[in-house]
Amino acid sequence: MKIDIFAHILPQKYLAAYSKANPAVVNEVEARNRAVVDLDIRLRLMDRYPDVLQVLTISQPPLEKFVKPADAVKLAKIANDELAALVEKYPDKFVAAVACLPMNDVDAALKEAERAIKQLGFKGVQIYSRINGETLDKPKFKPLYQMMARLNLPIWIHPTTDADLDTGGILGWPFETATAMYRLVLSGVFNDNPDIKFITHHAGSMIPFFERRLRWLLYPSRVPEGLKDPIEHFRKFYNDTAIYGCTAGLMCAYAFFGADRLLFGTDAPLSGPKYGLTQVTIDSIQAMTIPEEEKEKILSKNAIELLSMAV
């Protein structure tokens, strides 16, 4: 069994309501991907991998990008109710869901997170690397971090970027992920909430590659008082394996984070130029020069433990 920790979807009712609130949504890249929006296509793709279960996350764009808070609150509820129905209907395909939140209204986001987790049985929440341009270290977002630490469930971080950094998600998104991790660490979020759990996309982005640069340049004057070893705080992030089949990149992430902090994730149902991302990701993990039991951790056991799943 393999558990894909970061599988994207734009379910039908949610996408229809979102695009009605702002038609610009349909021009976004994932809204144009048929496998993301068409459940029948998705299920046929999944039939190729009967041993893979998906954890469903709502695809970008973020709600706060295109609608006002009142509409975002309504749309988040539509999305989460639809995800819950999919998990209930297809338990052999979808093992869990992650809550979509109206982050342009933090109080409403807290209420929706609690509803999704306690009433719908969701296994965490998803936010973006910036919230309407605001970085994740802003004090206004601390109540969400405190809640998720108390509930002992993770926060998925999906990258987003502004127009100045946009490269179609190719380079801007990894930069934004690394920047979000940097700001969270230096904000002391792991000091304030030692057990908080974040899951990044794309194997921790730039952080593992630039470990030595971080060590050299995070000298005391740049580090807040009380944050003794920021590198060890960077190691606390959980990270998926969605780097499109690059075993060398996975080995870099493994060297920095260790096997216990890596989770099988593919960016499904997006596909590469020749093969589906599910297969190339599996192949890249199998090619890692690590013990077989650590590959099993990455492919499923870490997710089962992190999400407290009875699978």
> At 230, which helix (H) or strand (E)?
helix 230-234
pTM of the model: 0.96
What the chain holds in terms of domains, given with CATH numbers, is 2-306 (3.20.20.140)
Q: What is the pLDDT of residue 196?
A: 98
| Location of structure tokens 């080995």 | 251
Amino acid identity at 203: A
Q: How many CA atoms lie within 13 A of 42 on its CB side?
A: 25
Binning pLDDT at 50, 70 and 90, where does residue 276 land? confident
Binning pLDDT at 50, 70 and 90, where does residue 273 land? very low
Q: Are strands 125-128 and 94-97 parallel, antiparallel or unpaired?
A: unpaired
Binning pLDDT at 50, 70 and 90, where does residue 226 land? confident
Digit-coded pLDDT (tens) for 40-54: 999 999 999 999 999
Digit-coded pLDDT (tens) for 241-268: 999 999 999 999 999 999 999 999 999 9
**CB under 8 Å to 294, separation ≥6 — which residues?**
259
Amino acid identity at 177: T
Distance from CA of residue 242 to its chain's centroid?
A: 10
Centre a 10 Å sphere on the Cβ of residue 303 and count the other Cβ atoms it contains. 29
Q: What percentage of the chain has pLDDT greater than the value 90?
A: 86
**CB under 8 Å to 83, separation ≥6 — which residues?**
9, 11, 56, 58, 97, 98, 100, 120, 122
